[in-house]
């Protein structure tokens, strides 16, 4: 358990920052290419309301793939697990997040899990509502509740930058449509998905969301059960098995906590029953995970014996 010292956390951030030079900011979404590769910040949110942090924690970043855990929680609540897992699987792939390979060779009608792009697109497709705007609003309101912050919104610049360049995600959608897994207009689904990925927040917000998952879906401050226990458990299990893409196995061995990364450099961590973690470090390793963020989690896990295993 961390000794709740900002100073100690700051020392770890300084040490982990050294490896930012070996990473690279994502630029396949052009607007993400503007990030400063040397940034690194972290917040840890405890159930009693205390929060410790280090680095420029006010700096905002977009959720990108971290949003996949949140949209999964929403559709599991909306539709139930039978409906959801008829359409998306539960198995890790060992492939990069945007790969189309397994969709064709293993399960044409069903993406292998909700953390790869093919599966996440199916999940976003399942968000209930009467229009893209209505469905986005429902997701955003859910995030407001999880983070206890109604000011969170999307970054228009990142949303339109991704919408204009999401050729591979469009290809995945057309493949899924051909196999009747989705039946909506592809442009509308890409619009909703890119808006979902462009929801913007800081590390403090992300740590607060991680905390709700860590506490089995209960908001420790209000006592409200925001996410049913079984849904929170499913989400955390996916974070362990597929949260860091094709680096999830190594991450489980070296760090051993449920976590989800995004190409913006965000990582949400949930240490079961203990605390939530929000990290922002935009320099990525070759698998698309924050290079310094992972180093920082390694230091934290070793120092405070956080591994669940
Ligand atoms: O679909 C995409 O390519 C992005 N919006 C999200 C990808 C992502 O964050 C994968 N992360 N490692």
Q: What ligand 1 atom has the least distance to the C-alpha of 65?
A: 9
Model pLDDT for residues 190-239, shown as the tens digit of each residue: 999 999 999 999 999 999 999 999 999 999 999 999 999 999 999 999 99
Q: Do domains 6-64+201-304 and 66-197 have the same CATH topology?
A: no
What does the pLDDT read at residue 98?
79
Position 248 pLDDT exceeds 70: yes
Closest CA to 270 of 262, 282, 278: 278
Residue-wise burial string across 120-149, b where 16 or more C-beta atoms lie within 10 A, e elsewhere: bbbbbbbbeeeebeebbeebbebbebbbbe
- Considering the four listed CATH numbers 3.40.50.300, 3.30.70.260, 1.10.3720.10, 1.10.1500.10, the one that applies to the domain covering 66-197 is 1.10.1500.10
Which residue among the candidates 17, 99, 245, 274 is catalytic per the annotation? 245
65 annotated active-site? yes
Measured CA to CA, the distance from residue 227 to residue 216 in angstroms comes to 8
Marked catalytic residue, from 13, 53, 68, 102: 68
pLDDT of residue 2: 60
Q: What Rg do the C-alpha atoms of the chain give, in angstroms?
A: 18
| Distance in angstroms (rounded) separating the CA atoms of residues 78 and 185 | 21
240 labelled catalytic = no
pLDDT in tens, 13-44: 999 999 999 999 999 999 999 999 999 999 99
The domain spans of the chain are 6-64+201-304, 66-197
Average pLDDT of span 96-121: 83
305 alpha carbon – ligand 1 mean position (Å): 30
198 close to ligand 1 (CB < 6 Angstrom): no
Say whether 83 is catalytic.
no
Question: Do 198 and 166 contact (CB within 8 A), yes or no?
Answer: no
- What is the rounded CA–CA span in Å between residue 213 and residue 152? 19
Question: Counting every residue, how long is the chain?
Answer: 309
Q: In what order do the strands lie in the sheet containing 153-154?
A: 61-62, 199-201, 153-154
Q: Are 23 and 70 in contact (CB under 8 A)?
A: no
Rounded (5°) CA angle 88-280-214: 55
Atom of ligand 1 nearest to the CA of 66: 9
Cα(266) to centroid(ligand 1), Å:
11
The closest-lying atom of ligand 1 relative to the alpha carbon of residue 245 is: 12
Give the rounded percent of residues in the chain with a pLDDT score beyond 70: 99
Instruction: Please write the tens of the pLDDT for every residue from 137-194.
Output: 999 999 999 999 999 999 999 999 999 999 999 999 999 999 999 999 999 999 999 9
93 CB less than 6 Å from ligand 1? no
Does the beta carbon of 65 sit less than 6 angstroms from any atom of ligand 1? Answer: yes
Query: Nearest-CA neighbor of 232 among 17, 73, 15?
Result: 73
CATH T-level fold of 6-64+201-304? Beta-lactamase (3.40.710)
- The verdict on the CB of residue 19 being under 6 Å from ligand 1 is no
As a whole number, mean pLDDT of residues 260-281 equals: 98
**What letter does residue 62 receive in the DSSP assignment?**
E
Contact yes or no for 231/169 (Cβ under 8 A): no
Return the closest-CA partner of residue 117 out of 141, 136, 93, 134: 93
Shortest-distance Cα residue to atom 4 of ligand 1:
64
121 alpha carbon – ligand 1 mean position (Å) = 11
């Amino acid at each position: 358990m961390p000794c709740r010292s900002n100073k100690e956390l700051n020392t770890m951030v300084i040490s982990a920052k050294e490896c930012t030079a070996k990473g690279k900011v994502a630029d396949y979404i052009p607007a993400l290419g503007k990030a400063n590769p040397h940034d690194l910040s972290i917040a840890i949110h405890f159930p009693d309301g205390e929060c410790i942090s280090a680095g420029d924690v006010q700096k905002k970043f977009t959720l990108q793939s971290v949003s996949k855990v949140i949209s999964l929680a929403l559709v599991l609540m909306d539709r139930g697990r039978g409906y959801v897992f008829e359409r998306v699987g539960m198995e890790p792939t060992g492939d990069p997040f945007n790969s189309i390979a397994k969709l064709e060779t293993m399960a044409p009608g069903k993406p292998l899990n909700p953390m790869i792009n093919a599966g996440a697109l199916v999940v976003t497709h399942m968000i209930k509502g009467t229009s893209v705007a209505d469905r986005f609003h429902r997701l955003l309101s859910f995030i407001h509740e999880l983070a206890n912050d109604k000011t969170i919104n999307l970054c228009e610049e990142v949303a339109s930058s991704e919408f204009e360049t999401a050729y591979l995600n469009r290809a995945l959608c057309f493949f899924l449509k051909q196999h009747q897994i989705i039946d909506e207009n592809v442009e509308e689904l890409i619009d909703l998905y890119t808006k979902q990925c462009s929801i913007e927040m800081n590390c403090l917000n992300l740590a607060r969301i991680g905390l709700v998952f860590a506490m089995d879906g209960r908001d420790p401050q209000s006592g409200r059960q925001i996410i049913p226990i079984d849904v929170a458990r499913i989400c955390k299990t996916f974070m362990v098995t597929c949260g860091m893409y094709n680096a999830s196995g190594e991450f489980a061995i070296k760090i051993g906590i449920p976590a989800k990364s995004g190409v913006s450099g965000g990582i949400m961590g949930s240490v079961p029953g203990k605390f939530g973690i929000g990290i922002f470090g935009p320099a990525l390793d070759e698998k698309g995970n924050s290079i310094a963020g992972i180093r920082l989690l390694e230091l934290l896990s070793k120092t405070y014996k956080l591994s669940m295993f």
